Chains A and B, each alone.
Chain A
Amino acid sequence: MTDRASFLAAIRSTPRGLDPGLPDRREAPDAPTQLRAGEERPDRLQAEAEAASTIVHRVTAVDVGATVASVLVQADAQRIALTTDLAPFADDVQAALVAAGLTVTEYVEVAPDRARAGALDATVTGCIAAVAATGSVVTSAAGAGRAGALIAPTHICVVRDEQIVGGLHELFDGDALAEAGSLFALQSGPSRSADIEKVLILGVHGPGNVHLIIVAPD
């Protein structure tokens, strides 16, 4: 059985290749995944999210609950779970869903039982960040859980304007990921596959119906 010491020793015993040095970049690289000059973050987020087949809603805080309720009613979702990172909108959402005649559970209660989690019709989560230039929401194991954003056919994510970072560089250099827990994840639109003759299918193992609610500052 190879152990750590012998495994690394074998690698160390090899000659050392050319090292160009680790680039010490201050600025964001010029990549498609960066915000371009003059772009507003929520606008780019909306454009990229829509390009990835996410349905985007731009609202103010007071309308979050109603927006969530209307999406879920339209999706005919019966079994709905909210994740803890939905705060500070959790109470409003809960109230709006109840008003719409929908019953709601907490994801933390459902999640330990895979079968129950797997039977959910929809999850509503917050996020730890959104990335404008990639149209992504970033969720954490500590908040939405590992599977909270993709276990059900419908996923609604609520992001506050101030949570939006410009691009990947800003995400990885910032501190949004500090408290993510055992996992953080970027998701950008519905689950998809084009394996069968390049035909694009949405909603393979993850949700096919993905909504992003961008909450404008008050």
Chain B
Amino acid sequence: MSATREDVGGTPLPPGWAKPAHQPDAFELTTTTFAERAAKTMARPFARGAIANATDHAAALTTARFVGTDHEALREEARKIRAHAIANLPDYLDQWIDQAERKGTIVHYAADESEARRIVAQICTDQQITRVVKSKSMASEEVSLNSALEAVGVDIYETDLGEFVVQAMGDRPGHVIAPILHRTKDEVHELFSAMAGHELPNEAEALTAFAREGLRHAFLTADAGISGGNFLIAETGDVLLVTNEGNGRLTTSLPPIHIALVGIEKVLPRRRDLAVLLPLLTGHGTGQQITTYVSVSAGPRRQGEPDGPEQMHVVLLDAGRSALLGGEFEEALHCIRCGACQNVCPVYRQVGGHAYGWVYGGPIGAVLTPLFRGQEEAGELAQATTLCGACDDVCPVKIPLHDLLLNLRRRSDAEGHVPRHEQVAFALWAQVWSRPLLYRASTAVARGSLRALARNGVVSAKSPLLRRWTAGRDLVVGKRPR
């Protein structure tokens, strides 16, 4: 299918420019702890500073964007739309499929991650697709799509600038909408200069231009474009995609085949619901009035249209989503992946996205990862928050993240995933502190011990019992009250 691949514009990237994509089993969830992963980011002072700066900046823009409007009413309406869509998910999916097929979209059904990989790989094999341009998709990260396509001989080009860097480095995105939040310009400069074979100017503009030239060539020669989808509109069979760079629309317009991989929870009933959800998605995502490119497509190119793909495939992805329906975690499916909860999370701000060990970071990651990957593998993430509630206050669709996190902690306890020592500790604690006399005795002992350890009202000795506290902090106990 790729007839001429020379002289089409842009500059082909050198062979082997991209590091192999991570395999489905290459996530670090099972082999490392949150603390270990967090330590890696915290050891890089730039990354920490950059994450804090970028998230503070985004959070401030979001706040500013809604000044003078009834933000709360808008969020409440969005919550209702999402809750209604999810409560009626099978009906709306059914409607969406009817409409999409009527417009010529070929719909596929992936019950789990491996089926999604298999379906897309099969389309590539059947259609002799050897080169793919890809617009940023978190769903494809979830299923580790790139490695599956590499395995069947497909060259993949991530076309979002940040994702391109991620792919070239063999890294993983650090933020839902800002994938290389944790990377410096110097790192990108070094990477791109090596790809170019000569020293590029160390400026964002020149570095962007380099990526653009390479990706331009890919856009003009790719056999297929693969995207995610921000929303599916049931009444019209639409797939909606937002990007700022324009790569989303080029991905879905230039190659002869468009394949979209979309989670089933992305359904909205009607186009008019976008008047509520779009300003929230973009306002909470980047703080923009609207994302630069909002593209809404249904089906392949029609008669008389000047351009567009000959085939449009949509792969509907379940992969753990339907299991949440009707249960105490259903509201996690309301998420529209704006990233706002990451931007306000005081923990994310310190540790970045990779600490969460899988695809999603921050509060929503701490909720979704245990739900999608299992409590045993990822239950710890729900403990890695202070339950400060900042995420609840910023979520554009009012997901009660604090409650979901707390429920996950309860479920860990109920299902026996809590370490033995913790269970014993709390059981003992309850034995003593549920009895006022024992409580008084224990607090008197504790006070006495602390005062014995204290010098001038401060305990700083690294006593074994207090080790986890006193490693970085003193315990200021003060003098006996006056």
A positions within 8 Å CB-CB of B: 1-4, 6-8, 10-12, 14-23, 25, 28-34, 48, 51-52, 83-84, 107-108, 111-112, 114-115, 117-119, 133-136, 141-142, 145-148, 150-151, 167-169, 171-173, 177, 181-199, 201, 204-207
Closest to B65 in A: A32
Q: Are B253 and A204 in contact (CB under 8 A)?
A: no
The answer to the question of B259 belonging to the interface, with a C-beta cut-off of 8 Å to chain A, is no
A167–B280 alpha-carbon span in the complex (Å)? 14
Among the listed A1, A21, A34, A185, which residue makes an inter-chain contact with B249, where contact means beta carbons less than 8 Å apart? A185
Complex Cα gap A119–B93 (Å):
40
Least distance between B46 CB and chain A CB atoms (Å): 10
Interface flag for B322 (CB, 8 Å): yes
Q: A19-B84, A150-B246, A196-B161 are in contact. Are A30 and B74 (CB under 8 A)?
A: yes
Q: B13 contacts which chain A residues (CB < 8 A)? A: none
- Within 8 Å by CB of A2, from B111, B250, B293, lies B111
Cβ B275 vs Cβ A169 within 8 A: yes
Distance of A52 from chain B, by nearest CB (Å):
7
B312 closest partner in A (C-beta): A182
A25 to B277, CA, bound (A): 14
**A16, A169, A190 pick with most chain B CB within 10 angstroms:** A16
Q: For the complex, what is the distance from the CA of A19 to the CA of B82, rounded to whole Å?
A: 9
Residues of B within 8 A of A194 (CB): 178
Q: Are A83 and B289 in contact (CB under 8 A)?
A: no
Nearest CB in chain B: distance from A28 CB, A: 7
> What is the CA–CA distance of A191 and B115 in the complex, to the nearest angstrom?
35
A185 engages B325 (CB within 8 Å): no
Nearest CB of B to A15, in Å = 3
Q: Is B179 an interface residue (CB 8 A)?
A: yes
Question: B residues engaging A (CB < 8 A)?
Answer: 4, 7-10, 50, 53-54, 57, 65-66, 69-70, 73-74, 77, 79-81, 83-84, 86-90, 93-94, 97, 103, 107, 109-111, 115, 159-162, 165, 178-180, 183-185, 188, 204-205, 207-208, 212, 215-216, 219-221, 244-247, 249-250, 252-254, 264, 269, 271-272, 274-276, 278-280, 283, 288-302, 304-308, 316, 318, 322-323, 325-327, 330
Is there an interface contact between A146 and B179, defined as CB atoms closer than 8 Å?
A: no
6 A-B contact pairs sorted by A residue (CB < 8 Å): A8-B90, A14-B325, A183-B296, A187-B292, A188-B289, A195-B165
Determine the residue in chain A with the shortest Cβ distance to B85: A22
Knowing A10-B318, A32-B69, the reply to whether A192 touches B245 (Cβ < 8 A) is yes
Q: How far is the CA of A195 from the CA of B208 in the complex (A)?
A: 9
Which residues on A sit within 8 Å (CB–CB) of B293?
150, 185-188, 191, 206
Contact of A172 among B103, B271, B316 (CB under 8 A): B271
Residues on B with C-beta less than 8 A from A187 are: 292-294
CB distance from A124 to the nearest CB of B (A): 14
**Which residue of chain B lies nearest to A192 when distances are taken between CB atoms in the complex?**
B244
Q: A147-B307, A150-B293, A168-B275 are in contact. Are A114 and B8 (CB under 8 A)?
A: yes
A136 contacts B9, CB within 8 Å? Answer: no
Q: B77 and A118: CB pair below 8 A? A: no
> Chain B nearest CB: distance from A136 CB in Å?
6
On chain A, the residues within 8 Å of B288 by CB distance are 52
